[in-house]
Amino acid sequence: MRIISIANQKGGCGKTTTAVNLAAALAANGRKVLLIDFDPQAHATVGLNIEAKKNIYHCLSKLTPQKAALEDIIVNVSINLDLAPSNIILTTIEQELANEIGRENRLQETLSAISNSNYDYAIIDCPPNLGILTVNAICASNEVIIPVEPSRFSVEGLGRLIDIINLIKERLEHRVDFKVLVTIFDSRLKYGFKILADLRNRFRESMFSTIIHVNVKLKESQSFGSSVFDFDKYSRGAKDYYSLSKEMIKTEAQGEPLKVKIQELIEEHLPKLAEITVKLNLPGAREVYVAGDFNNWRTDKDAAMADNHGSWIKSLRLEPGQQYRYRFIVDGKWITDPENPFQEKNPYGEFDSLLKI
């Protein structure tokens, strides 16, 4: 099992986005993945819509009367992907461990219970500080991915994190390597390229070739409660994280006991479709779906639209040259798109909206 921490004390540099979407991409490649939410903010847990009674705190703490084994808290998210959830209560572990001997190994001990399990990867989402939780995560890992958003401030803090990784390596004689991943890269900003070149120069092989670009679908999928692959698998964000997973897979040790059942997922088999976003401004609505010819008028979870501050959006991949009929379903009521003048009467005497691609 490869154990990988996603760490950087800088807040908002894409740790959770990377942890969730790399885990999902590896799972899509047939790897069995355990995502460990190790941040008391519990963004990965919330971002995957998981509510759990017990969480990683109950595995780590020796004081809680609700002590649990790792396998008791694990929740299945989707095929090949499990989650060890977190909760705000995890903040109390800092205090509990303050005077403990061997306190930096608590997560490693917890993970040893699943060392013989059939997980290929454990991915640990760290909090935005260099406290005892992050140190525990690094001590439990053999690899650290450091997401860096190319801005001056994110690059400045890197040295401290790398010092800590090296300290753990030397003092605790623990084999752990790190690799920098450029995230939230905005190709419209000139200085981003300059920082990218500096990082490549500084880190060379210790940096991923894959770059994660700015992509709004990554943000939207989080509020939608899923990975970007379940939200919009054709988006730039999905392609980037899929490519990162391929880069990770390339460095799997030969002979590692992986149950490789590669599903040739995205890029290779992408049909040449046009990406269209449908939108409905309706701040008061609780639940909005879009159904049409493109999804056989189904109103299941794949048809759900994302709420972006009262503007409901959904991106669709449609075949160019075709015309599609569609309607919105707002809190159970079917309506015609009020902003699309192109309509056609349907057999029920109502109007379907028309999309010509």
Ligand X SMILES: Nc1ncnc2c1ncn2[C@@H]1O[C@H](COP(=O)(O)OP(=O)(O)OP(=O)(O)O)[C@@H](O)[C@H]1O
Residues 235-254 that bind ligand X (CB under 6 A): 237
Kindly state the smallest distance separating residue 40's Cβ from ligand X, in Å: 10
| Residue 357 binding target from Mg ion, ligand X, none, CB below 5 to 8 Å by type | none
Nearer to ligand X, 95 or 187 (CB): 187
Q: In this structure, what are the phi and psi dihedrals at residue 125, rounded to the nearest 5 degrees?
A: -90, 115
Kindly state the smallest distance separating residue 223's Cβ from ligand X, in Å: 8
Stretch that binds ligand X, among 102-110, 209-217, 259-267, 274-282 (CB under 6 A): 209-217
Q: Which amino acid is at 329?
A: I
Binder of Mg ion out of 8, 16, 21, 108 (CB under 5 A)? 16
| Residue 184 binding target from ligand X, Mg ion, none, CB below 5 to 8 Å by type | ligand X
Answer for the pair 22, 248: CB distance below 8 angstroms, yes or no. Answer: yes
| Residue 21 binding target from ligand X, Mg ion, none, CB below 5 to 8 Å by type | none
Hey, is 339 helix, strand or coil? coil
Q: What's 260-320 look like in SS3?
A: CCCCCCCHHHCCCCEEEEEEEECCCCCCEEEEEHHHCCCCCHHHECEEECCEEEEEEEECC
Contact string (CB under 6 A) for ligand X, positions 219-238, x = contact: x--x--------------x-
Binder of Mg ion out of 2, 32, 43, 239 (CB under 5 A)? 43
Nearer to Mg ion, 12 or 30 (CB): 12
Answer for the pair 57, 64: CB distance below 8 angstroms, yes or no. Answer: yes
# residues contacting Mg ion (CB under 5 A): 3
218 binds ligand X (CB under 6 A): yes
Contacts of 278 (CB under 8 A, 6+ apart): 290, 305, 313, 314, 315, 316, 326, 337, 355
Nearer to ligand X, 55 or 222 (CB): 222
Nearer to Mg ion, 16 or 353 (CB): 16
What are the DSSP calls for 217-261, one per residue? HHHHHHHHTS-HHHHHTTSHHHHHHHHHHHHHHHTSPTT------
| Residue 150 binding target from Mg ion, ligand X, none, CB below 5 to 8 Å by type | none
Kindly state the smallest distance separating residue 127's Cβ from ligand X, in Å: 6
Structure tokens at 81: 């992907």
Nearer to Mg ion, 46 or 330 (CB): 46
Q: Cα(300)–Cα(290) distance, rounded to whole angstroms?
A: 10
Residues 1-40 that bind ligand X (CB under 6 A): 11-17, 39
Kindly state the smallest distance separating residue 343's Cβ from ligand X, in Å: 35
Beta bridge partners, 260, equal none
# residues contacting ligand X (CB under 6 A): 20
Nearest to 279 by CA among 250, 255, 305: 305
| Residue 310 binding target from Mg ion, ligand X, none, CB below 5 to 8 Å by type | none
Report the first-to-last Cα separation within the chain, whole angstroms: 46
215 binds ligand X (CB under 6 A): yes
Sign of the dihedral through C-alpha 106, 110, 113, 114: negative
154 binds ligand X (CB under 6 A): no
88 binds ligand X (CB under 6 A): no
Binder of ligand X out of 196, 214, 313, 354 (CB under 6 A)? 214
- If you compute the radius of gyration of the chain from its CA atoms, what whole number of angstroms results? 22
184 binds ligand X (CB under 6 A): yes
Instruction: Output the CA–CA distances (angstroms, integers) from residue 10 to 4, 150, 151, in the order listed.
Output: 18, 12, 11
Binder of ligand X out of 183, 226, 245, 353 (CB under 6 A)? 183
Q: Cα(351)–Cα(327) distance, rounded to whole angstroms?
A: 8
Element (H, E) at 36: strand 33-37
Nearer to ligand X, 14 or 292 (CB): 14
Binding interface with Mg ion (CB under 5 A)? 15-16, 43
Binding interface with ligand X (CB under 6 A)? 11-17, 39, 41, 43, 128, 183-184, 212, 214-215, 218-219, 222, 237
